[in-house]
Amino acid sequence: MDWLLILLGCIAGYVLVLAYIRTYKPFPRFITLYGPIIGLKTDQVGFFDYFRRYSGFLRIYGSIGVAMVVIVSVAMVVMLLLSVNLTLELKPEPTPLHKPQNIFLIPGINEFVPSTFAVWFAFFFTLVIHEFGHAILCRVEQIAVKSMGVLLLIIPIGAFVEPDEEGVKEASSWPRMRMYGAGIINNILVGVISFGLMVSLIGMAVPTQEPVVVGVYKNYSASEADIPVPSIIRTVNGEMVHTSQDVSDILNGTRPGDTVIVGFDKKGEINDYSLNVSTWPEVLGARESGFMGVFYYNGQGVIDTVQSLFSPLGIFMLLSVPFNPTMEGQYLRILGFDIADTEYYKVPFPGYWELIHLLFWSGFINLAAGLFNALPLVPLDGGFIFREGTERILNRRGLARYTDYVVSFVSTGMVVLIVAIFTLPYLFHM
């Protein structure tokens, strides 16, 4: 199947539909255009009124969201400042992380975010959760909601809720801040819950006990013999082995310089390799037995690591998984990527890894969206909350006229910091 032709056909069809809508403006009540983006909308939004019966709780929830946005906003600004300072000190060479297309978490464009069902579902789910938060708090604060809908750019790329602009302007400061903060707290809460469910489910996978070789140590016999990686050790000196402990038990009877015949299974094909075992590296501890120079897949270690990450600091580790080049980071990619490591586990039900991937990306994208939106940068929600708070503070001192200048200065500073993180490595190594 030629996917390029399919893509070109979809683009051509979309352009024709776009031209038709722009020319004839069919169903203006339900279809609108935002540049090249088609918005499908409805004004049937009365169900948001259902949440008004919980106004007391939701106002408290929104107020907590505002407080959380302030805390997260300060933390994010500090992190940006520290990142820029570290970049200035270390002058690192540019990496794929610094490429312009990797600034935003757009599936298929960002090199670290795959274009899979789990990612697109999480991407769309994040937008819906965010926008519904705004809409619900609008109704709680008696601000009208005019419409809601989805945005299309060949495929669904987002959701939107359109509050009544006059109603927003007429509302007082705290209701507006609660409305802005609701989307952020929704994203952060859903992100934490998604990661929590993922961590709970990961323990249901049973890692294989087979001696799965996933790497070799340089300058040792396994590396020099060019053994297949990954592969499974089936025999050692003619003896069948079923676990890495079985292999160790046999090798405990060898000494450096001895030769062992090891049968490696690569995709069902077993081949014997003659390996001259060596002295154990000092970093792995002194032993009298011989050392082949292989290391095994540690499935239980991966599960234990994931379960230990459900903490404030651990969640940031989970957020780094797509970008982490370390060995630990590569092992943790099983949480969000379709890789061969999933074969080394027995799972409790079909679709188990698909569910893990769905929960990982729902947690990842919701938290990333919530943290980014908390920045004091207009037009982000954090920027609007910063504006409201700044105006309240300055108004008490008769200085409200300076609000726009302060907000513009801070917003510009945020843009400079973000751009600096991605461009400085290129400037250092031109």
User: Is the domain 212-296 a CATH 3.40.50.2000 member?
Assistant: no
Residues 6+ apart with CB under 8 A from 81: 417
DSSP three-state, residue 38: strand
Nearest to 43 by CA among 148, 151, 159: 148
Structure tokens at 121: 């579902």
pLDDT, one tens digit for every residue, the chain (430 residues):
466 677 688 888 888 998 989 888 888 888 888 778 888 888 888 888 889 899 999 999 999 989 999 999 999 999 999 999 988 888 888 887 777 777 777 777 778 888 899 998 998 899 889 989 999 999 998 888 888 888 777 766 667 788 888 888 888 889 989 999 999 999 999 999 999 999 999 999 999 999 999 999 988 999 988 899 999 999 999 999 999 999 999 999 999 999 999 999 998 899 999 999 899 888 887 788 989 989 899 999 999 999 999 888 888 889 889 888 888 888 999 999 998 899 999 999 999 999 999 999 999 999 999 998 899 988 888 998 999 999 989 988 888 888 989 999 999 999 899 888 888 888 887 6
Question: 3-class secondary structure for 219-283?
Answer: CCHHHHCCCCCCEEEEEECCEECCCHHHHHHHHCCCCCCCEEEEEEEECCEEEEEEEECECCCHH
Q: What is the pTM of this model?
A: 0.85
